[in-house]
Chain A
Amino acid sequence: MAQAAHGLGGLKYDPAKRERPQELNVFIALVAIVVAFELLGRLFIGDSFLFNTRENVEGIFNWQRLNIIILQVSIVGIIAIGVTQVIINGGIDLSSGSIVGATAMITMSFAQTALVNGNPNPKAIFGDWAMDLPVLVPVLVGLGCGLIAGFINGGLIATTRIPPFIATLGMMVTARGLSKWWSNGNPISFPTESYAAIGKGLMPVVIFVLLALLFHAIMTYTKYGKHCYAIGSNEQAARMSGINVNRHKILVYSIAGMLAALAAIVLSSKNLTAQAGMGVMYELDAIAMAVIGGVSLQGGRGSILGTVLGALIFGVIISGFTFLRLDAYYQEMVKGVIIVGAVVLDQWRQRGRSRG
Chain B
Amino acid sequence: MSNDIILETRNLTKRYGGVHALEDANFTLRRGEHVAIVGDNGAGKSTFVRQITAVEKHSSGEIHFDGSNVEFKDPLEAREAGIETVFQTLALADDLDVPSNLFLGREIFRFKLGPFSVLDRKAMRDRTLEALKTTAVKIPNVDNAIRNMSGGQRQCVAIARTAAFASKMVIMDEPTAALGVQETAQVENIIRGLKERGIPMILISHNLRQVFDLVDRIVVFRRGRIVASLNKDETDGNDIVSYITGVKGASDAAVA
A7 and B138 alpha carbons, distance in the complex (Å): 8
**Cβ-defined contact, B105 with A11, below 8 A:** no
Q: Which size bracket describes the interface of B in this complex?
A: 35 or more
Interface residue tally for chain A (C-beta within 8 Å): 38
Task: Enumerate chain B residues within 8 angstroms of A232, measured Cβ to Cβ.
Answer: 95
**Cβ-defined contact, B116 with A8, below 8 A:** no
**Cβ-defined contact, A226 with B115, below 8 A:** no
**Cβ-defined contact, A226 with B100, below 8 A:** yes
CB distance from B132 to the nearest CB of A (A): 5
Contacting chain B: which of A134-142, A167-175, A216-224, A338-346?
A216-224
A280 within 8 A of B: no
**A223-B109, A226-B119 as given contacts; A13 in contact with B95, CB under 8 Å:** no
CB distance from A5 to the nearest CB of B (A): 7
**Cβ-defined contact, A11 with B139, below 8 A:** yes
Closest to A222 in B: B116
A121 and B132 alpha carbons, distance in the complex (Å): 70
A236 and B90 alpha carbons, distance in the complex (Å): 10
A221 and B111 alpha carbons, distance in the complex (Å): 11
A70 within 8 A of B: no
Task: Enumerate chain A residues within 8 angstroms of B79, measured Cβ to Cβ.
Answer: 240, 242
Q: Is the interface of B mostly helix, strand, loop or mixed?
A: loop
Question: Which of A229, A232, A241: most chain B CB closer than 10 A?
Answer: A241
**Cβ-defined contact, A237 with B76, below 8 A:** no
Task: Enumerate chain B residues within 8 angstroms of A19, measured Cβ to Cβ.
Answer: 148
B159 within 8 A of A: no
Contact surface of A with B, Cβ cutoff 8 Å:
5-13, 18-19, 218, 221-224, 226-227, 229-230, 232-234, 236-243, 248, 251, 300-301, 353-354, 356
Supplied contacts A8-B139, A221-B121, A240-B75, 11 more A-B pairs, CB within 8 Å: A9-B138, A222-B118, A223-B117, A223-B119, A229-B93, A229-B96, A230-B96, A233-B95, A237-B91, A237-B92, A242-B80
19 A-B pairs with CB atoms under 8 Å apart are A5-B129, A8-B133, A9-B138, A10-B138, A13-B141, A19-B148, A221-B118, A221-B121, A222-B113, A222-B118, A222-B119, A227-B115, A229-B96, A233-B95, A234-B94, A242-B79, A243-B104, A300-B94, A353-B148
Nearest first, the 8 A-B pairs at minimum CB distance are A9-B138, A241-B105, A242-B105, A300-B95, A233-B93, A233-B95, A241-B104, A237-B91
Contact surface of B with A, Cβ cutoff 8 Å:
75-76, 79-80, 90-96, 100, 104-107, 109, 113, 115-119, 121, 129, 132-133, 136-143, 147-148
